[in-house]
Amino acid sequence: MSHKKDQSKHKKVHKKEPKLKHELEHKLESMPLTLLNQIKCEFLPLTEHSLFEHSHFLDVERHIHVLASQRKMDVHIALCIAYFHDISRIKEGINGKLHAKRSAEIANKRLKKISNVKLSKSTRKVICSAILHHNQKAKIHGPFDELIKDADSLAHQDEFGFPSDSDFEQIRLDLMALDQVNFSVSKVIDIQSVYTMYSEAFLALFKSTPKDMNHWVHEIRIAIRKLRALLYFNDNTTLKRETFSALKPIFKVLSKSRALYVLYKSLESFESLEGIRNALEKILKEENHKIMEYLKGHQSGEFITGLEQLLTANKSHLSFQDAALSRLIKRYFKYLNSATLKDKETLHRLRIEGKQLKYLMGSGLIEMTHPIFQETLLSLHDLLGDLNDLQDQALFFKHYKMSAEERQLLMNHISDQTHFLEKEIKKRLFLLKKMIRLNKIIL
């Protein structure tokens, strides 16, 4: 067999990428108004036994019509979803989580049997998916799924005066009432001024004699992160790389001390673990002594002169424009969309990517028309930082020599704290993702 034939034999076959659900939704066939009226006329009388079911049916119909029009989605498909979403509760008295699944089954069976209108499988799938997921308010699904969830939330607010489902219903209501958030680079503060302030603050701190070493270590690490956030916008790649390389060993030499201090502080409320805390304090002092030795050789002479010159040289190469801000936020949203509590890797990546945005927001270089994005992002990344510390604690104490009772006490505490943090992180991830889905962010 020739070499050419052999190549053709192993030639890769490129399969077409499967279409995503939200892409298919743009190509759905609409439903005739006569069919919708037929369904409504059949279902509405079934609600007359309950004032709540009757008003809820009409409230959801009204809200989904408005939302579908606002979001430029097929109103007829939206209304079909609204009419069926609680049908199992109305017809069969099924309540709780099961009612959504049963309602989707009823809708699918009924829509298959319609003789005068042939609905495609993809259209039925979108309708039934929305019905199935409508009570999962804490999750984000496809556009029509989100449409019925939002309409349902608005109806609950009308009926009860407050969200009846969960904290996530309240988040949905708050975001629907929110105007779009516009981002832009500050016209008052320029990146060179902020960079000068940050670099001068870092150098002054680095050359100082630490009075409280643990506090000094924390402040130096923050100062380096602030500089890194601005250096990202340096158009001189070589200079930027050299500066990162100069700052990296300083940051690295402080890392162990910071980690030990966090472990030490985590035991503050445990009187019974004072022995472990004292042992950690001793290790921490030894590590801080190493830092002092490092500083003696780097706070003067060629190193500090070279560092000062390097930081100064970056100033003229910094440029922060709206296009750069837009790219940065879009990149952050890319990681945000894939981040879940179950996937620790994506969550860690989001935490790292968010640090730059966090420090930029703190610099005053970014202007926005509403503070909700900044407030949510900052609190999210504080929580992610705390969660990361807890994970480090769990790993350290798992292998640290202690009694079984002491280990169990610590692990129970870490588990409780982790549960609380994950609950709060979930809310903020949801809020930011939902803002994107509702097109509330304008870049």
Number of domains forming the structure of the chain: 2
What CA dihedral angle connects 41, 42, 43 and 49, to 10 degrees? Answer: 100
Nearest to 28 by CA among 61, 69, 75, 71: 75
What residues of the chain score a pLDDT lower than 70?
A: 1-27, 115-117, 163-165, 443
Per-residue pLDDT tens digits for 80-131: 999 999 999 999 998 888 999 999 999 999 998 875 667 888 999 999 999 9
Residues 368-385: b if buried by 16+ CB within 10 A, e if exposed: eeeebbbebbbebbebbb
What H or E segment, with its residue span, contains residue 251?
helix 237-266
Same domain, 85 and 202: no
Distance of CA 157 to the CA centre of its chain: 26
CATH of residue 436: 1.40.20.10
Amino acid in position 165: D
Same domain, 141 and 246: no
Q: Residue 149: which residues within 8 A CB-CB, separation 6 or more?
A: 133, 134, 136, 137, 172
Per-residue pLDDT tens digits for 183-224: 899 999 999 999 999 999 999 999 999 999 999 999 999 999
Nearest to 198 by CA among 236, 234, 225, 158: 225
Whole-number pLDDT of residue 17? 39
Give me the domain span that covers residue 389: 191-442
Nearest to 390 by CA among 418, 367, 416: 418
Amino acid in position 133: H
What H or E segment, with its residue span, contains residue 406?
helix 404-437
Whether the CB-CB separation of 406 and 271 falls below 8 Å is answered with no
Number of H helices, E strands in the chain: 19, 3
Whole-number pLDDT of residue 286? 97
Same domain, 159 and 196: no
Per-residue pLDDT tens digits for 298-323: 988 899 999 999 999 999 999 999 99
93 found inside a domain: yes
Report the distance separating Cα 380 and Cα 425, nearest Å: 6
Its pTM stands at 0.87
Whole-number pLDDT of residue 253? 96
Question: Of the residues 146, 174, 202, which one is the last residue of a structural domain?
Answer: 174
Phi, psi of 243 (to 5 degrees): -70, -45
Q: How far apart are the first and last CA of the chain?
A: 58
Q: Please report how many Cα atoms fall inside a 13 Å half-sphere around the Cα of residue 105, on the Cβ side.
A: 9
Question: Of the residues 145, 174, 203, which one is the last residue of a structural domain?
Answer: 174
6 found inside a domain: no
Whether the CB-CB separation of 219 and 201 falls below 8 Å is answered with no
List of E strands, 108-224: 181-185
Same domain, 169 and 305: no
Same domain, 367 and 316: yes
316 found inside a domain: yes
Whole-number pLDDT of residue 29? 80
Same domain, 170 and 303: no
Same domain, 201 and 163: no
DSSP code, position 442 = E
